[in-house]
Amino acid sequence: MIADKVNAMKLLLPLIFTLLTTSLKAQPPYPSPLDTILPVRGLCLGAPSTEDLDRFVKFIDEECSRLNVNLLVLRIGTSYRYQSRPELANPDGLTKEQVKKIVAAARKHGIRIVPMVNLLGHQSWHGKLGKLLTVYPEFDETPWVDLPTGKYEWPNEDGLYCKSYCPLHPGVHDVVFDLVDEITEVFEADAFHAGMDEVFYLAEDKCPRCGGRDPAELFAGEVTRIRNHLAASGKELWIWGDRLIDGKTTGIGEWEASMNNTARALHLIPKDVVINDWHYDRADPTAALFALNGFRVITCPWRKSDVGLAELDLMLKFRAGATPTTKDRFQGMMQTVWSGTSHFLDVYYGEAENKDPNGDQDACFKELFHAIGQLK
Ligand SMILES: [Zn+2]
């Protein structure tokens, strides 16, 4: 009997060893010393094309891990083959299997993924209407504004930057929440990014539902509605911060802050919304505005390395000087990429030249993360 047990153990031991080592390998890496210095070290970029998928997965596996990236905000929009809303799905978008490859690569290195679909604003770009308003034109906040057939120019008579959906349309949330639920599920995400930046069309006088209403209350109402939907399944809402900053009082203006009376929404939305505070030309100290009002905040540069490095410096100073109550609201940094992901990867790997005359997002990313690596 004893001999049988010994033999059985001999047979089982390799299996137990394999199971143990496999489960250890599947765990995220041990916490980095950087986690206490700068908890969030992110990169925000568009969904990779299906052709770029393998290269993108390799980029996560080799580069993001090496550079201490621990957050990817992926702008998916309709570039996914949604099953809940096939009418909004891009037939060339990512498949479920492809998304799972991204999820696995990120998980291997303890990188959190937050998928993004633009809600409220950014429902058109220049002369092109987005998929939501193409399929559901009744959701358009400004149906009387035609998109230009020729070259788009800013400024223009209509004040057209991007179209918005009407947040008070009775049918819009049934549709967009299906996208929110499906994209967070497929990415196995515990947070969702709703964009909500640069919303210029809001509370339009000619909208039969919104005309005459307070833009701050309308904006806050939409943020709160999305937040509550996510909170019901234990997920966080992330948004860009610009509509919550008073562009007039701060002098920051109408892009990186609000000149359309939405800023008071800062005091009307739930404090657990995570703010992505983007400033591309100056290191504005607005992270303090958000943190001191109770919000977690991540500062986001783009294509100017000196600005990105100054913002990192400011973030570290805020953390060093903060009270224990506010310190961890200063969460960290996130590099933004506004070209296609394919071009970003081309430049990253030296296969193409940066062609942006106003800056170099790849250089900013590399310099920012080099500086972050030095903090250890
Ligand atoms: Zn409306």
Please give the distance, rounded to the nearest whole angstrom, from the Cα atom of residue 166 to the centre of ligand 1. Answer: 4
Query: Which of 40, 27, 361, 35 has the alpha carbon at shortest distance from 191?
Result: 40
Question: Is 345 contained in some domain?
Answer: yes
Mean pLDDT by 10 residues, the chain (376 residues): 57 54 52 94 97 98 97 98 97 97 97 98 97 98 96 95 98 98 98 98 98 98 98 98 98 98 98 98 98 98 98 98 98 98 98 97 98 96
Element (H, E) at 220: helix 215-231
Please give the distance, rounded to the nearest whole angstrom, from the Cα atom of residue 110 to the centre of ligand 1. Answer: 41
- Domain of 247 in residue numbering reads as 41-373
pLDDT attached to residue 4: 60
Please give the distance, rounded to the nearest whole angstrom, from the Cα atom of residue 192 to the centre of ligand 1. Answer: 24
Question: Is 1 contained in some domain?
Answer: no
Question: Is 295 contained in some domain?
Answer: yes
User: For all residues of the chain together, what is the average pLDDT?
Assistant: 94
pLDDT attached to residue 258: 98
pTM: 0.92
pLDDT attached to residue 185: 98
Please give the distance, rounded to the nearest whole angstrom, from the Cα atom of residue 220 to the centre of ligand 1. Answer: 14
Question: Is 10 contained in some domain?
Answer: no
Question: Is 21 contained in some domain?
Answer: no
Please give the distance, rounded to the nearest whole angstrom, from the Cα atom of residue 291 to the centre of ligand 1. Answer: 31
pLDDT in tens, 294-327: 999 999 999 999 999 999 999 999 999 999 999 9
Question: Is 335 contained in some domain?
Answer: yes
Question: Is 17 contained in some domain?
Answer: no
Please give the distance, rounded to the nearest whole angstrom, from the Cα atom of residue 83 to the centre of ligand 1. Answer: 28
pLDDT attached to residue 271: 98
What's the domain count of the chain?
1
| Beta-strand runs (E) in the chain | 40-46, 71-75, 112-119, 124-125, 128-129, 191-195, 236-240, 274-278, 297-300, 330-336
Query: N- to C-terminal Cα distance for the chain?
Result: 56
Q: Which residues surround ligand 1, an ion (CB under 5 A)?
A: 141, 166, 168, 207, 209-210
Please give the distance, rounded to the nearest whole angstrom, from the Cα atom of residue 150 to the centre of ligand 1. Answer: 27
Please give the distance, rounded to the nearest whole angstrom, from the Cα atom of residue 207 to the centre of ligand 1. Answer: 5
CATH number for the domain harbouring residue 63: 3.20.20.80
pLDDT attached to residue 31: 83
Q: Distance between CA 141 and CA 138 in Å, rounded? A: 8
Question: Is 6 contained in some domain?
Answer: no
